[in-house]
Amino acid sequence: MQPVTVRYSHPGLTVWTRDQKHGLLRSFVLLLAIPSKTVTVSFLPPHAPTAEQAADPILFAKAVQRRMAEELGVPATDIQRAEFVRETRKKQ
């Protein structure tokens, strides 16, 4: 697994397109309001799972997440957005 991080010169740019209620057109206009933007993509060293991580994909994912969070200087969280969580319970 090769982790990749993306850092924006204006962190608010990701909020405009992800968390706001307005649509694509307004997001585009807001992006144009900042004429100069920098996006930095960093390829981190590949992460080979330990034997314990190979047996537990969640443990493996959390280890990669921690490494990416360290690179970005942000805390690793276990926050999930409702629209990205797949329903796993069986319907009764």
Domain locations along the chain = 4-79
Strands (E), the chain: 4-8, 39-43
pLDDT value at 68 more than 90 = yes
- Over the chain, what is the mean pLDDT? 83
77 vs 16, more confident? 77
Please, what sign has the CA dihedral across residues 11, 13, 17, 23? positive
Is a pLDDT exceeding 60 seen at residue 91? Answer: no
Q: What is the mean pLDDT of residues 61-78?
A: 92
Residue 12, pLDDT score: 67
> How far apart (Å, rounded) are the C-alpha atoms in residues 21 and 7?
23
Joined tokens for residue 55: 């047996």
Position 92 scores a pLDDT of: 44
CB 40 within 8 A of CB 7: yes
Give the pLDDT confidence score for residue 59 in this predicted structure.
95
